[in-house]
Structures are given as C-alpha cells and as structure tokens.
C-alpha cells in the first residue's frame, strides 16, 4: 500500500466541508430509503463534527430529509458515566443531534459506560454483533486526536483491535479537562470501537479543523503505517478521505 494513499480534500472552511459530508450522507439516506433499506452511519463526538450535526439538522428541519431509515453507532463512551450523565457521549449526541432528528430510538446504538467490569467484554462483543447485524457501517465519521487517535484508539493500539475497554492517553485527558471542570475529573478509561471495527466501514470520512491539528494530520498522511499514529491505519482502507480546512492542511502542501 503506498504511504500517501489517503485522499484528502481541503475546503475553504469547516462549514463547507461539513456541507459536503452532509450531502453525501443525505444522498445515501435517500438512496436507501428508495430501496426501503437502512443507511448505517457511524458517528463521532467532539468539537469537530458539530458543524456537520448542524447541517444534518438543517437538512431534516428545513429540507424535509427523513432519518427514519437511519441506524447509528457511536464510536466510543467514557467509562463510569451513566447514559444520562450530561458529560457522557450519549448525552452529547442527544443534545447536539438526535433530539433534533427523527432517527428512531431503537436504531441509535451507544456503548454504555456504566456497566460492571465483568460484563465489559460481552457488551463490546454484542456491539460488534449489532454492527454486523445492521449490515455493517456505510459511512463512518471520525475526528482525530492530536496524538493521532481515532475513536479512543490511542497510540499503541493494534490495527486488528475490536471494540474494547481502553486506558485514555494523557493528552486525551488533558484535552477533555476543561469540559469536565478539571483534569482530575476526567475518566481514566473508556470503551471504543477498535481500529478493525472502524476499518470495516465501507466509507470513512475523517474531519480535522484548525492549526492545532495540522501536525498530526501531516503525520497521519505522510508517515508509514504505525501504531504510534492509529489514524495512519486508515491508509489501508480503500475509501477513506480526510476533509480538512486550510489551517489543518497547512503543513501538507509543503510536504507533498
């Protein structure tokens, strides 16, 4: 696999990148609805997808796009957080997206952060089975951590990894500290889809905005596939694209 096989597109702004991603999602939803079939979307949380969520809400509320045939799987969840905890990723998704769309509740899938330790492995295996039973993920949306993580697959993760419990990296916890009101309040562990789970998706769109992502975006695209940068695993996938704004792409032009 050539090292620089990941396609990337530089948009004039996050909003224009998200309009493009949203129209691709909308096309899939409409094509599948015409066939009476579901469209399976893998969602990420974080600041990055917020503009995409706004666009999807606009398409639903202003242009009548129905999400009735949409099935969703979220990438990850903090351990120790109940689903209705305002700081859980499930609450984030309800607040920022699902409360404003008509995705049927039974079609929304989340990992649960509040399950007993003894059931983590079976819960994660069930999640993998549910993805397969839904027909696999059609479009997986991703952000990228400044350490190169995708989902919570931190540096050192295996390309073969499946949904599992993970320890959070120091930089990941630091980045989450303000949202939690202090580093000491950030969970140490999480559940995440694995890199292999992500790579099973038929289409992957990784979004990155801003200068603080420029260095890791360059490394993910330019360095050989390495567990030090889990996002570099994406170059083994045939249908992945990075959607970037100019600051996030700033270090690419000089190097490619």
Q: Which residues are catalytic?
A: 76, 147, 149, 154
Nearer to ligand PGA, 32 or 149 (CB): 149
**Given 29, 42, 48, 192, the residue binding ligand PGA (CB under 6 A):** 48
Sheet holding 139-142, edge to edge: 7-10, 240-244, 203-208, 139-142, 39-43, 70-74, 108-109
Nearer to ligand PGA, 145 or 187 (CB): 145
**Is the CA virtual torsion 248, 251, 253, 256 positive or negative?**
negative
**CA–CA separation, 94 and 92 (whole Å):** 6
**Given 14, 42, 113, 145, the residue binding ligand PGA (CB under 6 A):** 145
Question: Phi-psi region for residue 168, left (φ > 0), alpha (ψ -120 to 50) or beta?
Answer: beta
CB of 174 to ligand PGA, least distance (A): 11
CB of 21 to ligand PGA, least distance (A): 14
**CA–CA separation, 234 and 226 (whole Å):** 10
Q: In this chain, which stretch among 115-123, 142-150, 196-204, 234-242 interacts with ligand PGA, using CB under 6 A? A: 142-150
**CA–CA separation, 126 and 205 (whole Å):** 25
SS3 77: strand
Kindly state whether residue 133 participates in binding ligand PGA, applying the rule CB under 6 A.
no
CB of 145 to ligand PGA, least distance (A): 4
Kindly state whether residue 14 participates in binding ligand PGA, applying the rule CB under 6 A.
no
Whose CB is nearest to ligand PGA? Answer: 46
**CA–CA separation, 138 and 231 (whole Å):** 19
Q: In this chain, which stretch among 141-149, 177-185, 216-224, 247-255 interacts with ligand PGA, using CB under 6 A? A: 141-149
Nearer to ligand PGA, 33 or 50 (CB): 50
**Cβ–Cβ < 8 Å for 240, 234:** yes
Q: In this chain, which stretch among 11-19, 88-96, 143-151, 183-191 interacts with ligand PGA, using CB under 6 A? A: 143-151
Q: Please name the helix (run of DSSP H) or strand (run of DSSP E) that holds residue 161, with its range, or none.
A: none
Kindly state whether residue 47 participates in binding ligand PGA, applying the rule CB under 6 A.
yes
Tokens of 69: 């045939």
Kindly state whether residue 144 participates in binding ligand PGA, applying the rule CB under 6 A.
yes
What angle is formed at CA 179 by the lines to CA 201 and CA 140, rounded to 5 degrees?
Answer: 10
Nearer to ligand PGA, 47 or 183 (CB): 47
Q: Which residues bind ligand PGA (CB under 6 A)?
A: 46-48, 143-145, 149
């Amino acid at each position: 696999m050539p090292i620089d096989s990941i396609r990337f597109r530089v948009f004039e702004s996050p909003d224009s990148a998200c309009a493009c991603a949203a129209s691709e999602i909308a096309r899939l939803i409409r094509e599948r609805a015409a066939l009476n079939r579901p469209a399976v979307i893998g969602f990420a949380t974080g600041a990055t997808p917020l503009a995409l969520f706004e666009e999807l809400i606009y398409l639903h509320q202003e242009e009548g796009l129905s999400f009735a045939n949409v099935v969703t799987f979220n990438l990850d969840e903090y351990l120790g957080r109940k689903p209705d905890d305002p700081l859980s990723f499930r609450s984030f998704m309800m607040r920022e997206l699902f409360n404003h769309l008509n995705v049927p509740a039974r079609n929304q899938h989340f990992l649960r952060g509040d399950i007993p330790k003894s059931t983590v492995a079976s819960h994660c295996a069930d999640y993998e089975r549910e993805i397969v039973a839904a027909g696999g993920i059609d479009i997986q949306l991703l952000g990228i951590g400044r350490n190169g993580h995708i989902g919570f697959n931190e540096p050192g993760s295996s390309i073969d990894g499946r949904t599992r419990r993970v320890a959070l990296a120091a930089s990941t916890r630091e980045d989450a500290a303000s949202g939690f009101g202090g580093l000491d309040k950030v969970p140490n562990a999480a559940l995440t889809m694995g890199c292999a789970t992500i790579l099973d998706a038929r289409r992957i769109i990784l979004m990155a905005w801003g200068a603080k992502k420029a260095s890791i975006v360059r490394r993910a695209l330019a360095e050989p596939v390495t567990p030090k940068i889990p996002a570099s695993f994406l170059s083994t996938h045939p249908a992945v694209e990075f959607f970037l704004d100019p600051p996030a792409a700033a270090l690419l032009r000089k190097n490619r």
